[in-house]
Amino acid sequence: MLLFGLLTPHTLTSLLYGTTSLVIVVVSFVLLFKPANHTRGLVTVQFPTLQSREISFPDSFDSFASLAEGATSLLNFGTVIESAAAQATSAVMDALGSAESLLNNSLPNNVTVGTTHVCVGYATHSQCGSLPLNDSTSLLEFPLPISPVALFTSIFEYIPPVQTFLIVATAFLFLSILIGVGFLTVLKSRWVLLLLVASSFLSFLFFLVSTFYAAILYAVSSLVSGIAGVIVERGEVLSLSIVAVVFGLAALLLGLVRIIL
């Protein structure tokens, strides 16, 4: 009974506001500081046609090498020449194998978009560039002017970093928390409550912009994927941004309730 007596409407709204703010703080830190979100938190575009395609030289190279080695043996110019021919054949085959491996490793596997970077993934490494990109072709190791890779990198070339919106939203969130703590301790004024609601609204607004941004990017990528024949996967930034928007709206409504009470 004593506990219920202490839970006045003002106390209850303050506790709920603190809880919602804590959830948003945790979500904000994951969005801002998780390394994976920086490079692939928004969208991942897989290129199955390129992944299944391997570049290999025709078997005529093997036949030519065998013919040269056989001809050298038939001419019987001596073991020195025959050994040199065998070494030359081996060197040619090694060079061809290296060239095949190099070309195959230059074919992109995917393109990923995060909160700060766009990356093109290859078999052994990735090439990344900060948003917005000045030149998307700098991420391509193999010239593919007409391809799904070039299409998506050109689309992602002009988008701004969503990290900017997240930083501003988090800044207003911390401002609202500081104002709320000040109101509960010292500055018990309706003007302070209005500042609390205003900062909560701005935090909610910028989280909403981030969510809308991530949703549009995923929708456009999915639309283009049907034409280009690629696979689009959604990152966790969109889901976490939705969580931040929902709890941000709850915090805003709690602030309004506190003004009314």
- Residues 114, 100 share a domain: no
Residue of higher predicted confidence among 174 and 150: 174
pLDDT digits (tens, 9 = 90+) for 21-44: 999 999 999 999 999 999 999 999
- Residues 209, 88 share a domain: no
- Pull the structure tokens for residue 68: 């040269």
* Mean of per-residue pLDDT scores for the chain: 77
3-class SS of residue 135: coil
The count of structural domains within the chain is 2
- Residues 215, 100 share a domain: no
DSSP state of 159: P
- Residues 243, 164 share a domain: yes
Rg, the chain, Cα only = 30
Cβ pair 50, 116 in contact under 8 A: no
Task: Give pLDDT, residue 135.
Answer: 75
What average pLDDT score do residues 120-142 get? 81
- pLDDT band of residue 95 (cuts 50, 70, 90) is very low
3-class SS of residue 246: helix
Query: Whole-model pTM?
Result: 0.75
pLDDT digits (tens, 9 = 90+) for 226-242: 777 788 999 999 999 99
CATH number where 150 lies: 1.20.140.150
- pLDDT band of residue 85 (cuts 50, 70, 90) is very low
- Residues 191, 89 share a domain: no
What average pLDDT score do residues 2-18 get? 69
Residue 248 belongs to domain spanning: 2-51+109-260
